[in-house]
């Protein structure tokens, strides 16, 4: 897991526990000059220099695949740019690579979800970029609820009550699912309760990141406690394009 800075990286050991040893998910922290939730700062975390440096350091774990565990640092490059981003990493490492944004698109496709709402930590200019990305992936966004959280650090300290309030605020009756971007947000420990609260699938950044990682290594996993996405065996991810 190539993860920018420090915020909610502790979600990944929680997933390891839920998977009962089916996969190891070591986290390599990539360099971040600013964790501001601005378009410029979030695009900066997804440039080649920090990503290729992180990929080089990740070789110490002899990984079978790499995930760029960042939503805004991928979707703000657009649909084609996000694919090009992971292709450069794959070419440099010889490994299968994907990103959180592409994982969201594949998760929606795998669950036959084409109409969603978004509960975003980000300010509106960044959140709107995610809606545009999803539209280009064939997923209609009925509503984007932006919560204007200004930094990843602030997102990383939100508690359960704030998370539930944020997700519930986006519970549009016609949406098939609620998407919660931002890998800086702790969500793994609450997935089952979140889905019970809103009565539909909730797809969160760290959840879809791990799901995609397992698919990259042909190990889709059915397990309890990680939401609807992990309740059915689904095939391999779409190839980069």
CATH at residue 98? 3.40.50.12500
Considering the domain boundaries, does residue 103 fall inside one?
Answer: yes
Considering the domain boundaries, does residue 153 fall inside one?
Answer: yes
Instruction: Tell me the average confidence (pLDDT) per consecutive run of 10 residues in the chain, 241 residues long.
Output: 93 92 94 88 93 96 97 96 97 97 96 96 92 97 88 80 92 96 93 95 97 91 90 59 42
Considering the domain boundaries, does residue 138 fall inside one?
Answer: yes
Please state the domain count of the chain.
1
Considering the domain boundaries, does residue 37 fall inside one?
Answer: yes
Considering the domain boundaries, does residue 39 fall inside one?
Answer: yes
The DSSP code sequence of 165-208 is: HHHHTT--TT-SEEEE--TTS--GGGHHHHHHHHTS-EEEHHHH
Range of 150's domain?
2-230
């Amino acid at each position: 897991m190539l993860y920018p800075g420090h915020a909610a990286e502790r979600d990944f050991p929680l997933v390891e526990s839920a998977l009962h040893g089916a996969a190891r998910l070591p986290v390599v922290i990539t360099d971040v000059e600013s964790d501001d939730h601005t378009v410029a700062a979030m695009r900066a975390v997804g440039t080649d220099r920090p990503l290729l440096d992180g990929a080089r350091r990740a070789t110490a774990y002899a990984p079978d695949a790499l995930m760029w565990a960042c939503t805004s640092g991928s979707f703000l490059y657009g649909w084609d740019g996000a694919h090009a981003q992971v292709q450069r990493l794959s070419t440099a490492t010889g490994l299968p690579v994907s990103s959180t944004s592409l994982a969201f698109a594949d998760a929606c496709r795998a669950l036959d979800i084409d109409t969603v709402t978004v509960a975003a930590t980000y300010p509106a200019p960044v959140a709107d970029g995610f809606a545009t990305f999803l539209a280009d992936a064939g997923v209609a966004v009925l509503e984007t609820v932006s919560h204007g959280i200004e930094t990843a650090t602030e997102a990383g300290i939100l508690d359960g009550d704030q998370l539930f309030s944020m997700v519930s605020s986006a519970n549009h009756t016609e949406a098939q699912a609620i998407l919660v971007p931002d890998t800086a947000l702790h969500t793994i420990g609450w997935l089952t309760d979140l889905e019970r609260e809103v009565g539909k699938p909730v797809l969160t950044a760290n959840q879809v990141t791990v799901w995609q990682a397992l698919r990259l290594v042909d190990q889709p996993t059915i397990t309890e406690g990680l939401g609807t996405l992990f309740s059915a065996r689904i095939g391999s991810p779409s190839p980069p394009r």
